Structure 1
């Protein structure tokens, strides 16, 4: 993952816009976020719009209604109109995401200027879209082009170009075959590793040990793991432990020291340092906030 020293954000909001871009009324919001540290992402809802979030780097856990979902790099997760959603525990960890919010085509007669037959096809696709799916990194090219166009807005064809790139993004998401990403086996292994850590959070696994389990060299394992998950094996395992720590702090009466010991930290001070780096608050402050 690119090593930024601070969070980065860019957001386009239709409301208040003027000129050609404002005529593309079915694009509600478009954004990019790079989170270098844990950042609040709390409960919210879009009453008449769909939201699609592409995880470019990192791993993110979500709550949509009463459902929990895990996403890795190259995953898209979407929410339908009226669905409440948030990052798990109201915090999103270090990651990079692109997201787009568009009006519900079933409620808009002239949705992105499509003809009736095309309009009905998109309604069918969007209503049957899986909650999470794998999408090629090629989609990022179109997100970046949209961002550039909206920042400059100096072309006579802006309105047409915006619609074109939005359609390209939606086509990648809605009508794109499920992909075998860098390593489907690594995706499966990552989930198994997470389950092992949750069962025994104090366990510490060396890269060489994990690589041996996959039958790979350390360097090859590290590269494929990072390409698949958007972060190093060590960072991923620490994130799993911190998510589990949040669960213990919220749902149990264990002391901070006992939580640290449960997760295999030699001192509560070391645990608190790692927790604050990844979650954004000290364990005690997080517990008070989420009591």
Structure 2
């Protein structure tokens, strides 16, 4: 019987913030022997990425249900949005050495592809094909299917309350996660974006120093506001206004990281009406004040 108290903890952070960390790991607490670990993490506080709490052996696959994780490579920011697949290759830090994990809810599992033979329940041919495909992925994240959340929840439910054939059921869920993640990756590699949306994105990207209204962009691309809004949302995953807001906040992050500007200077450079309004929007999007973000990002000493 699994001792849940050995692998589950909830702790208070700064009085009202709650962090939940649930983990099952080998050799004693994982139903599926080929999994090194399995769990979920919910936090209301941003923190730096770091060494994995369950060790660095094997590949870690995760699903970000809520929140965000970002990376800085010394010149560019990448950010995983909700419903993203997260991948840490063997030996990598959690999210990479340059990551900030913002308030989020994420699920993960960790495992190793065998050097020889097959994963239980799969043929050697299928195991090798999956291993080669996952090892070839060079990104930290990509958009994932919402169905991944249900598969991870199913794994955790089987883990918490095992019954007859729970190992076999869990193994089937694990295999579905592998295949669905790979399909999501390949689909995103082949994704086509219309020339209309590309033109709109270029316009929004070139105008981060001011607020841009949706009807302004819809006139540019010669579409009705409603149809443009629907098309843009479908092809980018978010409405035009939110997309532009995130572009402006990303520009603000660059200024905070790369320049010794005051918060007021950053706000004015990006066309916000006041530093107070800018700070409110920044915290709403990022989960941190601009000052706290700059402080936390400055602690990353080894961006990659």
TM-score under structure 2 normalisation?
0.69
Q: Return closer, same or farther for 1:267/1:38 CA change in 2, 3 Å cut-off.
A: farther
Q: Tell me the equivalent position of 1:158.
A: 166
Q: Tell me the equivalent position of 1:62.
A: 71
Structure 1 unaligned runs (5+)? 1-5
The yes-or-no answer on 1:275 pairing with 2:285 is no
Q: Distance in 1 between matches of 2:28 and 2:263?
A: 52
Report how far residue 14 of structure 1 moved: 1.8
Q: Give me the CA root mean square deviation.
A: 4.2
Q: Tell me the equivalent position of 1:142.
A: 151
Q: Return closer, same or farther for 1:155/1:178 CA change in 2, 3 Å cut-off.
A: same
Q: Tell me the equivalent position of 1:235.
A: 242
Secondary structure of the structure 2 residue equivalent to 1:276: helix
Q: Distance in 2 between matches of 1:67 and 1:52?
A: 23
Q: Tell me the equivalent position of 2:252.
A: 245
Equivalent residues of 2:40, 2:108 under 8 A apart: yes
Equivalent residues of 1:135, 1:178 under 8 A apart: no
Structure 2 unaligned runs (5+)? 1-15, 299-304
Q: Return closer, same or farther for 1:171/1:56 CA change in 2, 3 Å cut-off.
A: same
Secondary structure of the structure 1 residue equivalent to 2:210: coil
**For each residue in 1:150-180, what CA deviation from the matched residue of structure 2 results, as whole angstroms up to 9, or x when unmatched?**
34x2431111111101101101223568337
TM-score under structure 1 normalisation?
0.72
Equivalent residues of 2:267, 2:278 under 8 A apart: yes
Q: Which has the higher contact order (CA 8 A, sep 6+)?
A: 1
Q: Which structure features the higher share of helix residues?
A: 1
**For each residue in 1:61-119, what CA deviation from the matched residue of structure 2 results, as whole angstroms up to 9, or x when unmatched?**
435799854556665342211223349762547xx765433222146867445454444
Q: Distance in 2 between matches of 1:175 and 1:290?
A: 33
Q: Distance in 1 between matches of 2:17 and 2:198?
A: 26
How many pairs align? 278
Q: Tell me the equivalent position of 1:3.
A: none
Q: Distance in 2 between matches of 1:158 and 1:208?
A: 54
